[in-house]
Amino acid sequence: MTPEEFRSAAHELVDWIADYRASVGDRPVRSEVAPGWVRGELAGPPPEMPVGLDALLTDLSDVVVPGVTQTQSPGYFAWFPANAALESVLGDIAASGLGALGITWQSAPALTEMEEVVTDWLRELCGLSDEWYGAIHDTASTACLVAMLVARERATDLSEDRGGLQAEPAPLVVYASTQAHSSVSKAVLLAGFGRDNLRLVPVDSVTLAMDPDALRRLMAEDAAAGRRPAAVVASLGTTGTTAFDPVEEIVAIAAEHGAWVHVDAAMAGSAMMLPECRWLFAGVEGADSFGWNPHKWMGTILDCSLLYVRDVQMLVRVLSTNPSYLRSASDGEVTQFKDWGIPLGRRFRSLKLWFHLRLAGADSIRDRLRRDLAHAQWLAGQVAAQPDWEVCAPVPLQTVCVRHVPDGMDDAALDRHQQEWAERVNATGRAFVTPALVEGRWLVRLSIGAEATERADVKALWALCRESAGDGAVLG
Ligand SMILES: Cc1ncc(COP(=O)(O)O)c(C=O)c1O
């Protein structure tokens, strides 16, 4: 494809994207395709001869669009906000167009230095001190794995230089709450600690945040038994209910054992942009690493996950490689992000943050986050005011966890009822919500925060929930 052919095709594609985004609210929010349908529509012999762009756009419209959840729809209340602000889409397109190769500073100085600029901007926008150094990873799962690798090496005084974990005299133990995201256990397993050495710390029954006394007890028991507490992962904004672990206390308890503290604020980190929400993150400054995803609520298109660490020397010591063909005369003066994470080659991810922040402005992003917080408080108020409904967890941010609890159902029937009415909501195509099992009970998570969601959409969701649950009052 020549640049001129690209110009014309790209205009058509951008028109297609704009039309799609303009009409996204008219489509069923949850994909309704059956397993295998998309594959069946697209399969066939590999293309030997070129086809026109029209054929691809038709397939995008007719096969691909029905085959995705409409996360940009105002009716999307599932999992977590998965916004893809169009400002950031432009940055992603620019990154693809440039085709830069991010393997060392030398291979694309702008890729490295823009990443330093935008991670500093976000650090400042979140009110973090300048003791933190940030890099962009693909996901919070990877960021947590990196944190666990560095925690392991700090606890073993660089066992990687010797026999690794296999030669350590005592097991290393990692702690996270029962509400921590599954990616935390995955990171712990991948970093070689082993499932036997992962303690899931009980949570407070009301706040669903880690119980610091239980953490203290478990760490002391392990230490007394000759095991070595190596790391604690504190969750700020748990996946189930957006609970906030008490980081300040966790940092103090971990310090008694010299354990690394990683803070996982994948979804909730966006709220740190709001000064009035920062109290929820009190204590973060004392942690060793802190990760959050602009690709969730803040709205920079996936994949865009930030990992900040304080001790960059340690990070680089654990992760650096230095083959001859990657060396250059500037090595001593520049940042080499290949030494801050797992992959060698990096995409120019900072461009999407740079476009998003510059074209939208942080102020408008903060306004949107505040709008969503107000929606959640409004919805929680409506739910709490109905006799047969419960708000079943605190609502510090944008997620409202609810249960419909009509008289005459036992626990098992109530659990089934939550899953059934959520399914009825989702089957309408007008909204998409997520049932979840939290501490042994089923509830329904209403996760507000799609960029397009306005108060009218939240009101419509509430009416739909009541109707789908067979709430007598709304059915009249
Ligand atoms: C608290 C928390 N941590 C980690 C993750 C994993 O995020 P990612 O998909 O970026 O790996 C999630 C995703 O929902 C999450 O809610």
Q: Ligand 1 within 6 A of 185 CB? A: no
Does residue 139's CB lie within 6 angstroms of at least one atom of ligand 1? Answer: yes
Ligand 1 contact via 293 beta carbon (within 6 Å):
yes
CA-nearest residue for atom 14, ligand 1, is 239
Nearby residues of 279 by Cβ (< 8 Å), 6 or more positions away? none
Ligand 1 near 339 CB (within 6 A) = no
| Gap from CA of 104 to ligand 1 centroid (Å) | 28
Of 328-337, 340-349, 427-436, 451-460, the one with minimum mean pLDDT is 328-337
Residues 217-276: pLDDT tens digits?
999 999 999 999 999 999 999 999 999 999 999 999 999 999 999 999 999 999 999 999
270 lines ligand 1 (CB under 6 A): no
For residue 107, which amino acid is it?
S
Mean pLDDT confidence for 140-165: 97
Average pLDDT rounded to a whole number, residues 184-194:
98
Res. 475: pLDDT tops 80: no
pLDDT attached to residue 329: 83
How far, in Å, is the centroid of ligand 1 from the Cα of 162?
A: 33
Share of the chain above pLDDT 70, in %: 99
Whether the predicted pLDDT of 476 surpasses 50: no
Distance 144 CA to ligand 1 centre (A): 10
Task: Please give the number of the atom of ligand 1 that sits closest to the Cα of 268.
Answer: 1
Q: Is the pLDDT of residue 145 over 80?
A: yes
Q: Which of 235, 236, 267, 289 to mutate to test the pocket of ligand 1 (most atoms within 8 A of CB)?
A: 267
% residues pLDDT > 90 (the chain): 96
Hey, where are the domains in the chain? Answer: 3-68, 94-360, 362-475
Does position 325 have pLDDT exceeding 50, yes or no? yes
Tell the residue number behind the tokens 């029937």, with chain if given. 413
Domain spanning 3-68, CATH architecture = Up-down Bundle (1.20)
Residues 6 or more apart in contact with residue 54 via CB below 8 angstroms? none
Cα–Cα dist 475/473, whole Å: 6
Cβ neighbors of 133 (< 8 A, separation 6 or more) are 119, 308, 309, 310, 312
Q: 292 C-alpha to center of ligand 1: Å?
A: 9
Tens of pLDDT, residue by residue over 358-397, are: 999 999 999 999 999 999 999 999 999 999 999 999 999 9
Domain 362-475 fold: Aspartate Aminotransferase, domain 1 (3.90.1150)
Q: Please, what is the average pLDDT of the chain? A: 96
User: How many angstroms is it from 140 CA to the middle of ligand 1?
Assistant: 6
Atom of ligand 1 nearest to the CA of 293: 10
**Dihedral, 291, 293, 294, 295 alpha carbons, nearest 10:** 160
What pLDDT, on a 0 to 100 scale, did the predictor assign at position 326? 85
Query: Given the DSSP bridges, would you call strands 228-235 and 260-264 parallel, antiparallel or unpaired?
Result: parallel
The answer, yes or no, to whether any atom of ligand 1 lies below 6 A from the CB of 141, is yes
- pLDDT score for 473: 63
CATH 3.40.640.10 is held by the domain 94-360: yes
